[in-house]
Amino acid sequence: MIEVCNITKRYGHLTAIDRVTFRVEKGEVLAFLGPNGAGKTTTMRILTSFIPATEGTAQVAGFDCAEQPEEVKKRIGYLPETPPVYQELTVAEYLSFVGKLRGLAGTGLTQALDRVIERLSLGSVRKRLIANLSRGYRQRVGLAQALIHDPPVLILDEPTVGLDPKQIIEIRELIKSLAGSHSVILSTHILPEATAVCQRVVIINGGRIVAEDTPDQLSARLRKSEKISVTLKAPPADVVERFSAVPGVEHVLATADPQTVLIECALGKDIREEVARFAVGQNWGLLEMKPVSMTLEDVFLKLTQREDEVPASNAIHVGERS
């Protein structure tokens, strides 16, 4: 449905995105994950035919974004970062304006209007001026705008930004319900969002794609070793060296907390028993022991930071992110 092939966008000397390639199948929900300024919005703007790419080609539903912008625009529903609403109009007026721009008229327009108003639970604010709506409602009006013509492709730029937790869940449910019938690209810098709603994640950083996979496989791919976090009541000063002597242990890392160490062993092995027996035998006061699995958040941090910026001992702060 969406095919992006080696697109590059330069603003003068600044390269916003660099040879980005990915594709989205029909009915698939793809998360575009990256820190702020990674090039997510630029990519989306190219896909919506708002700006042209410097190099490379992007296609939506078989139409080239640069050559046939009209065809592309007809098939896309786009929610930019700031919901594009006219404050002086009521919700119904605004949505019917959007519908008319999208070529809807008469009963088709009325039906489409009723459908999106129901789908986004906007019924109670239908006749209110958008200027008087809360941020959450505006975001929903923005989404309604993108959905009114029931487009096969939806491009949503940070759709849950600024919403409260309940609204976030509602929007995520909505996006999930679109999967299957619509192809969705969703940009976000919030990791749980990507895992919650998307079948596939593209991680972009500094304008380049650094990883692309399903959320599960991404974490599995990066977990090169099993990790156990061990908290002791009275660890000796040389606890790191002492644990290294235990058979099966490959690495021992100190953490920010002096009582906690991180023990690594080869993937697929379980050395918890040996570690526990050793700690108890030494009388260090074993308080806690738990396996650490890498969350997508760690994957994200690991992929988007350069190696030299992440000293091994700081790579994972146990406890802060469990």
Partner 1 sequence: MPPVQAIIAKELRSYFVSPIVYVVGAVFLLTFGFLAYLYIVFTGAQAIQLMQMQGSTAQINLNDLVFRNLFASMRFVLLLILPILTMRLLAEERKLRTFEFLMTAPVRINEIIVGKFISVYLVFVGMLLLTTLVPLTLALFSDFDWYPVLTGYLGLLLLGGFFLAVGLFASSITENQIVAAFTSFGLLLMCWLLAGLGSLLGDTPAGHVISYLSFMEHYDHLVRGLIDTKDLMYYLSGTVLMLFLAHRIVDASRWK
- The nearer residue to partner 1, 67 or 88, going by C-beta atoms, is 88
Q: Does 192 bind partner 1 (CB under 8 A)?
A: no
Q: Evaluate whether 47 touches 58 at the Cβ level (below 8 Å).
A: yes
The correct pick among 58, 76, 122, 292 for binding partner 1 (CB under 8 A) is: 76
Residue count, binding to partner 1 (CB under 8 A): 30
CA 109 to chain CA mean position, Å: 33
DSSP string, 74-118: HTEEEE-SS----TTSBHHHHHHHHHHHTT--HHHHHHHHHHHHH
**Least distance CB 101 / partner 1 (angstroms):** 5
Closer to partner 1 by CB, 80 or 152: give it.
Answer: 80
User: Three-class SS string for 13-63?
Assistant: CEEEEEEEEEEECCCCEEEEECCCCCCHHHHHHHHCCCCCCCEEEEEECCE
Is the separation of the CB atoms in 275 and 231 below 8 Å?
no
For the window 23-62, what string marks contact with partner 1 as x by the rule CB under 8 A? ----------------------x--xxxxx----------
145 binds partner 1 (CB under 8 A): yes
> Is residue 238 classed as helix, strand or coil in its secondary structure?
coil
Q: In the complex with partner 1, which residue's Cβ is closer, 146 or 279? A: 146
For the CB of residue 80, give the shortest distance to partner 1 in the complex, in Å: 5
84 binds partner 1 (CB under 8 A): yes
Question: In angstroms, what is the minimal distance from the CB of 309 to partner 1?
Answer: 32
Q: In what order do the strands lie in the sheet with 183-188?
A: 76-79, 153-157, 183-188, 29-33, 200-205, 208-213
Q: Residue 52 or 192: which CB sits closer to partner 1?
A: 52
Supply the DSSP symbol for 233. Answer: S
- Closest by CA position to 299, among listed 209, 221, 204, 193: 221
Told to check if 74 binds partner 1 by CB under 8 A, we report: yes
**101 touches partner 1 by CB under 8 A:** yes
- Chain contacts with partner 1 (rule: CB under 8 A): 11, 45, 48-52, 70, 73-74, 76, 78, 80-82, 84-89, 93, 97-98, 100-103, 105, 145
